[in-house]
Structure 1
Amino acid sequence: MRPLRYSINVTLDGCCHHEAGPPPDEESMRYWTEAMQRVDGLIFGRVTYELMESAWRRPASGTWPDWMDESEVPFAETMDPLRKVVVSSTLDGVDWNAELLTGDLGQAVQALKDEPGEGLFVGGVTLPLALADLGLIDEYEFLVLPTLAGHGPTLLSGLRERISLELVGRHEFRSGAVALRYRPAQPTA
Structure 2
Amino acid sequence: MRPLRYSINVTLDGCVHHEAGVAPDEELMQYWTAEMERADAVIYGRTTYEMMQSAWRRPASGAWPDWMSAWEIPFSEAIDRVPKHVVSSTLDAVDWNADLIRGDLAEAIRELKQQPGEGLSVGGVTLPLTLAELGLIDEYTFVVHPIIAGHGPRLLDGLSERTRLELIDRREFASGAVANRYRPAPVA
Deviations 1:68-127 (A, max 9, x none): 111110000011011100001110000000000022010100100001111100000000
Deviations 1:167-187 (A, max 9, x none): 000000001000000000011
- Deviation beyond 3 Å, 4+ runs, structure 1: none
- 1:70-149 matches, within 5 Å, as 70-149=70-149
CA distance in 1, matches of 2:148, 2:129: 22
Deviations 1:34-82 (A, max 9, x none): 0111111000000000000001111111100011111110000011011
AA aligned opposite 2:18: H
Match of 2:8 in 1: 8
- 1:7-86 matches, within 5 Å, as 7-86=7-86
Which ranges in structure 2 are unaligned for 5 or more consecutive residues? none
CA distance in 2, matches of 1:69, 1:2: 33
Determine helix, strand or coil for the equivalent of 1:71. Answer: helix
AA aligned opposite 2:80: D
Aligned residues: 188
What's the C-alpha RMSD, in Å, of the aligned pairs? 0.6
Which ranges in structure 1 are unaligned for 5 or more consecutive residues? none
CA distance in 2, matches of 1:94, 1:65: 22
CA distance in 2, matches of 1:141, 1:22: 15
CA distance in 2, matches of 1:64, 1:11: 29
Query: Percent identity between the aligned chains?
Result: 69
CA distance in 1, matches of 2:22, 2:168: 26
Normalised by the size of structure 2, how large is the TM-score? Answer: 0.99
CA distance in 2, matches of 1:87, 1:173: 32
How far 1:19 sits from its partner (Å)?
1.2
How far 1:22 sits from its partner (Å)?
3.7
Instruction: Report if aligned partners of 2:10, 2:144 keep a CA contact under 8 Å in 1.
Output: yes
Instruction: Report if aligned partners of 2:10, 2:22 keep a CA contact under 8 Å in 1.
Output: no
Match of 2:184 in 1: 184
CA distance in 2, matches of 1:4, 1:153: 22
AA aligned opposite 1:88: S
CA distance in 1, matches of 2:77, 2:156: 29
CA distance in 2, matches of 1:69, 1:24: 12
